Amino acid sequence: MSLVQGAHQTSQPRESRATLLAWPEFNQPAVWLVAAILLIMPFIASGFFLIEIFATTLILGTIALSLMFLAGYGGMVSLMQLTVAGFAAYMVAVFGMSANTNISLGWPWWLATPMALVLATIFGTLGGTLAVRTEGIYTIMITLAIGAAFYYFTNQNWPIFGGHTGINTIATPKFWGVDWRSDIPFYYVTLGVAAFCYFAVQYVSRAPFGLALQGVRDNPRRMAALGFNVNAHRVAAYAFASFIAALGGVLQVWNYRQISPGSVSVGACIDILIIAVVGGIARPVGPFIGAFIFVILRTFALDLLVKFGLDGNRFRLLIGLGFLAIVFWSSDGVIGLWERWRRRAVTPEKRGGYGHG
Amino acid sequence: MTRFIERHPAWALILLIAIAVMLWLILAVWPPGLEEAIGRKRVFLNAVFNGITLGSLYFLVASGFTLIFGLMRNVNLAHGSLYLFGGYVGYAISTWTGSWVLGFIIAFLGVALVGIVLQIAVFRRMEGEDLRQTMVTIGLSIVFADLMLWVFGGDFYQIQTPNWLVGPVELPLVTAVKSSGEAVYLRYPMVRLVIFVAAVVIGIVMWLALNRTRVGMMVRAGVDDRDMLAATGVPIQLVFVVVFALGAGLAGIAGVVGGTFQSLSPGEDTRFLLASLVVVIVGGMGSIPGAALGAVIIGLAEQLGSVYIPTYAIVVTFLIMVLVLALRPQGLLARR
């Protein structure tokens, strides 16, 4: 791939330079290495690691990416991104096929999935419209209230959401002779969706809309004076983020094949915030790093704690303390720590050579 | 009041009619047609009373939340944890000593102490950084929840009601008239009425403390303009600590009260955090009367909703929040 890129550069230097300016990460060998490893992952990792670690990381990372987009570029910390994802998951279960035949409508997946995506995007946009009625720190309160209300609602409501037992054995897509929920195809599906969302966020952040959104984040009054509709930009950001979160939610319901109020609990909503903050909300890659750390901790904390002679059930304590440590010492998460460490390692002259792209 | 009527005559009229209808529903003997349409009056009256007592519990939790938020701009998402912690402390002390009142007092002091430590050790270091403070409170709520789960397990606890509060009391409200012409009066648990009265008393004491004392004056000035208050030479850090301790202590005694007439278990912290969030969003952030109004509205909506439309009860609460945000985003009684 990098060879092709090199040839491209010699034949059409001007255009390639523009591409490189727009996508600076293509210029770094580490990025290509990570991409290659992710692509050949099924040949390295076994089924357990592939799904439980990597696919789960990509799904949680996608949902956290939607929060990163809102918080990093829009300055709006929304705690309802998991609720939007959960709503999409519920809609897949309600419109598609599942064991709860009295609830599910039994539509084929290619009809149920777009329906779920559209409805979840509308749901998230409406929530966003509410949240932008007030500003700053209030956003957290309102979105948390929306998330918690949705959780209690799914618990109470039996006709549509199946009460606290939820909806089980949800059908996953099978077509072209492939069962898309079997390990390797499902991994590639999640990888494809995560990559799509990652590049979509990267693209939007550099498009005029994304730049205006960052302007709104930094100085809403000035942007309003310049003739931008501040609230419309914010609501549009919610719509975009909701779509990404909905994609993550659809993948999640295909992964677990069931959905219940536990999946949309307040704790789970806060986990998404933790993932985004621990990874770093300044850049789109942060949520994926945060998700990886979170999933690794969640999977292995029990064994690790028992090995040290502690109670294995204290996983959440570990997560909470780790989160507190990150919030205390690094405002932009693990990426921030990494960059600070690199800045200390790299001398100023060498650093000057980078920015050109 | 008169200014409100002058400025919003239509709203005032609607409010007046709503209050009149509510009073009639509570006081009058229902005609048979109404009983057929929406059920027995006893059910309705019980729901209203449960709603008001639940509202007074919500007021205890939310007033601390709104006080801390109003003065320090600190959205304390660990407030639910403080509530649950207070409940557990009250349970432990009251089962150990057998005295409910002692449990109540020690829960207040213990949780207030936690609040003081939090304010001095954590929040003072990041003053003015709203988002970071909120993140820290989220982290703290996770840590507290897990520590409490560790110590107390996942069981349900209920604090023993003191003997002098056990049993129902007859209220002078007619629920029905027997065919013999004899009136049936409403019987209601004593403990819930005491909770309601206690919440009203605490609310009035808080109002007096805020409006009639020197410290209260400082707190009110701080809510309006923190920097200017600091510039006038008031020891603002001390005021912060006092307010944080008071707010946390209120959550603590609310925990004891909630543990007495409901129960304590992991997950209650989230429930009461949500309740205080919705109450202060509806009532107006940083306003004590707003917290009282919001708490009564939400408590009533929750109880009436769970009686008349059980599967959609939470939606009613939520719709109230949406409606308030749409019409008056700063909350019903906020000044700005």
Q: Which B residues 86-125 touch A at CB under 8 Å? A: none
CA closest to B135 among chain A residues: A327
Closest by CA to A81, choosing from A303, A256, A248, is A248
Q: Which B residues 10-49 touch A at CB under 8 Å? A: none
In this complex, do A153 and B318 lie within 8 Å of one another by their Cβ atoms? yes
Structure confidence by residue, pLDDT tens digits, B36-75: 677 777 778 888 888 888 999 999 899 888 888 877 778 8
pLDDT of residue B117: 92
Contact B53, B60 (CB under 8 A): no
In this complex, do B315 and A153 lie within 8 Å of one another by their Cβ atoms? yes
pLDDT of residue A7: 40
Encoded tokens for A346: 């790299």
Which of the four pLDDT bands, split at 50, 70 and 90, describes residue A31?
confident
| Domain range summary for chain A, segments of one domain joined by + | 50-352
Q: State chain B's mean pLDDT as an integer.
A: 83
CA distance B95 to chain A (A): 27
Highest mean pLDDT among A36-45, A181-190, A235-244, B215-224: A235-244
CA closest to A147 among chain B residues: B274
Q: Under CATH, to which class is A50-352 assigned?
A: mainly alpha
Contact B130, B73 (CB under 8 A): yes
Please report residues of B whose CB lies closer than 8 A to that of A141. 75, 277, 280-281
Please report residues of A whose CB lies closer than 8 A to that of B285. 138
Which residue out of B322, B327, B328, B336 would a mutagenesis test of the A interface target, given it has the greatest number of A Cβ atoms within 10 Å?
B322
Q: Which A residues 133-152 touch B at CB under 8 Å? A: 133-134, 136-138, 140-142, 144-146, 148-149, 152
pLDDT of residue A22: 60
Contact A192, A198 (CB under 8 A): no
Whether B1 and chain A come into contact, CB under 8 Å, resolves to no
pTM > 0.90: no
Highest mean pLDDT among A3-7, A342-346, B58-62: B58-62
> How many alpha carbons fall within 13 Å on the CB side of residue A272?
36
Encoded tokens for B300: 């009533």
Structure confidence by residue, pLDDT tens digits, B216-240: 888 888 877 878 888 888 888 888 8
pLDDT of residue A185: 81
d(CA A169, CA A172): 9
> Is B1 or A233 the better-scoring residue by pLDDT?
A233
Whether B319 and chain A come into contact, CB under 8 Å, resolves to no
**Is residue B3's pLDDT more than 90?**
no
In this complex, do A267 and B270 lie within 8 Å of one another by their Cβ atoms? yes
Structure confidence by residue, pLDDT tens digits, A117-152: 999 999 999 888 888 877 777 788 888 888 888 888
pLDDT of residue A8: 41
- CA distance readout (Å), A45 to A42, A79, A181, A231, A304: 5, 33, 17, 46, 21
pLDDT of residue A4: 38
Name the residue among B311, B317, B326 with its Cβ closest to that of A157.
B311
Which of the four pLDDT bands, split at 50, 70 and 90, describes residue A14?
low
CA distance B137 to chain A (A): 9
pLDDT of residue A161: 79
Which residue out of A82, A144, A235 would a mutagenesis test of the B interface target, given it has the greatest number of B Cβ atoms within 10 Å?
A144
Please report residues of A whose CB lies closer than 8 A to that of B151. none
pLDDT of residue A356: 39
Structure confidence by residue, pLDDT tens digits, B179-196: 676 777 777 788 888 888
Which of the four pLDDT bands, split at 50, 70 and 90, describes residue B111?
very high
> Is B80 or A333 the better-scoring residue by pLDDT?
B80
Percent pLDDT > 90 in chain A is 10
pLDDT of residue A1: 35
Please report residues of B whose CB lies closer than 8 A to that of A82. none
pLDDT of residue B318: 81
**Is residue B109's pLDDT more than 90?**
yes
Structure confidence by residue, pLDDT tens digits, A49-83: 777 788 888 899 999 999 999 888 888 888 889 99
pLDDT of residue A10: 42
pLDDT of residue A274: 85
d(CA B78, CA A352): 45
d(CA B307, CA B290): 26
**Is residue A350's pLDDT more than 50?**
no
Whether A270 and chain B come into contact, CB under 8 Å, resolves to yes
Whether A77 and chain B come into contact, CB under 8 Å, resolves to yes
pLDDT of residue A168: 76
Average pLDDT for A12-35: 64
d(CA A312, CA B6): 64
pLDDT of residue B82: 92
**Is residue A353's pLDDT more than 50?**
no
Which of the four pLDDT bands, split at 50, 70 and 90, describes residue B81?
very high
**How many residue pairs from chains A and B have C-beta atoms closer than 8 A?**
113
CA closest to B153 among chain A residues: A313
Q: Report the Cα A282 to chain-centroid distance in Å.
A: 14
